[in-house]
Amino acid sequence: MQKKKFSGWRNENKHPSLSEVFSSVSVSKQKGIWKKLFAFTGPGLLIAVGYMDPGNWATDIAGGAKFGYMLLSVIFISNLFAIILQHLALKLGIVCERDLAQACRDHYPPFISFILWILCEIAIAACDLAEIIGSVLALKLLFDIPITWGVLITAIDVLIILFFQYKGFRYIESVVAALIFTILVCFSFEIINSKPEIFPILKGIVPNPEIMKNSHSFYISIGILGATVMPHNLYLHSSIIQTRDYPRTIEGKKMAIKYATIDSTLSLSLAFFINAAILIISAATFHKTGHTEVADIMDAHKLLTPILGSSLSGVFFALALLASGQNSTLTGTLAGQIVMEGFLNIKLKPWIRRLITRLIAIVPAMIASMIYGEKGATKLLIISQIILSAQLSFAIIPLVNFTGNSEKMGPFVNGPILKISAWFITIIIVLLNLFLLYDSLFGRR
């Protein structure tokens, strides 16, 4: 079949993304706003998971313990960046009817596409590693299960995920929503119990020049900003938005972009609250009592109960960590399937795909836990974030490039303000991630 001249793609896309659930969630054809909004609610929650995964906890804890509420502004700015980039991802999926992996395959030569796939698979394995470690540490804290046994237990979640995949996409979204609600309840309890000061919190949301002047606060800020957007989230969002059964017309796509953006923005606002809550709790407990050197999950858990005087504080903290790890596992599984099918145009049975990804992550986690114990698991968590940071540029640049291309997007191409904003955000994140990567490998820390 001859390629249409206005398409702007090297190759024709012949297969829908996540074909087993493509266009499977009905959208009301009535004019009511709330029914349409409910129909599009779900993908944003799956995306929000990536912004509250165990990999983000360490930087939020360290920032709150060391600098109080000052770095809340960094979390707020990071969230604004995420809202814009996720808007571009959902727009790409809706307009071009391709996920980001398919778009890369249909735009770049095979060799470049293959390299991008390899890099993305490495990033997903690193993300899976963070999820394993988060769940393992939570199991250790809740049930005193040895780290090594905890690593093996995490392999069982393959069966749980497959069960919900076969039940339907709305079931997956419901499970994710329930786990997010669990995290929300846990941190609401922690905030109430820690009694933070309202005025300093509001002051912390306003950017403070001191952040740039202090090298340590600047470094933690880079960690928060640079590792904010998970690369697999951009692939994931561009795909799962296509599960909605909206009219594939210009008007239908306009409607889909509108409601999907509302869903994404509200969900990421919830992620902002949870990330801010971690920093606020750390500031109100550790910074306030002089424990400014707290920088990892295990130390934070040990100090919460004696400082707040409630045994439930540690339990809720660990429960939120477990829910966060399991939530990230669900979305990571989907992202792995999307990336492999999109880049290579091949299908594997979900249990094979999941097993491959999990084994790649389990091996280093098992080795580190056997040799170094808890400290080894924590170090692997940091390494996983460095890998994700290194890969992020290879996801953001194609996304911003595609959505700013009038041949590909037609009337939906990014406007001048959005285009400038998107490239500005891209440059900032790329530079910060390069600095973070260099400093982590060769720097002074």
How many beta carbons lie within 10 A of that of residue 412, not counting itself? Answer: 18
Instruction: Report pLDDT for 440.
Output: 65
Percent of the chain with pLDDT over 70: 82
Q: Does residue 3 have a pLDDT over 50?
A: no
User: Which residue in the block uniquely carries the two structure tokens 């720097």?
Assistant: 443
- Residues 110 and 278: their CA atoms lie apart, in Å, by 43
pLDDT of 158: 58
Which pLDDT band holds residue 18 (cuts at 50, 70, 90)? confident
Beta carbons of 187 and 52 less than 8 angstroms apart = no
Among 6-20, 202-216, 425-439, the range scoring the smallest mean pLDDT is: 6-20
The answer to whether 276 touches 284, Cβ cutoff 8 Å, is: no
Q: Which amino acid is at 385?
A: Q
Domains of the chain: 25-442 (1.20.1740.10)
Give the per-residue pLDDT at 443: 63
Q: Is the pLDDT of residue 332 over 60?
A: yes
Nearest Cα neighbor of 95 from 199, 249, 217 is: 249
Residues 148-201: tens digit of each pLDDT: 777 777 767 656 666 766 677 888 888 888 888 988 888 888 888 888 888 989
pLDDT tens per residue, range 246-270: 998 999 999 999 999 999 999 999 9
Token pair recorded at residue 25: 């969630």
Q: What pLDDT band is residue 6 in, cutting at 50, 70 and 90?
A: very low
Kindly report which listed range (77-81, 115-119, 336-340, 432-436) carries the lowest average pLDDT score. 432-436
Please, which pLDDT band fits residue 358 given cuts at 50, 70 and 90?
A: low
Q: Which residue has the higher pLDDT, 406 or 318?
A: 406
Least confident of 60-69, 115-124, 297-306: 297-306
4-8, 76-80, 113-117, 217-221: range with lowest mean pLDDT: 4-8
Cβ count within 10 A of residue 206 = 10
pLDDT of residue 261: 96
Residue 5 confidence (pLDDT): 42
pLDDT at 412 over 70: yes
pLDDT confidence of 26, banded at 50, 70, 90? Answer: confident
Per-residue pLDDT at 349 exceeds 80: no
Return the bridge partners of 248, or none: none
Banded pLDDT at 399 (limits 50, 70, 90): very high
How far apart are alpha carbons 19 and 215 in whole angstroms? 49
| b/e per residue 177-202 (b: at least 16 CB within 10 A) | bebbebbbebbebbbebbebeeeebe
How far apart, in whole angstroms, are the C-alpha atoms of residue 431 and residue 428? Answer: 5
> Is pLDDT at 380 greater than 70 in this prediction?
no
* HEC per residue, 339-357: HHHHHHCCCCCHHHHHHHH
310 against 286, higher pLDDT = 286
Higher pLDDT: 300 or 64? It is 64
pLDDT top residue among 353 and 398: 398
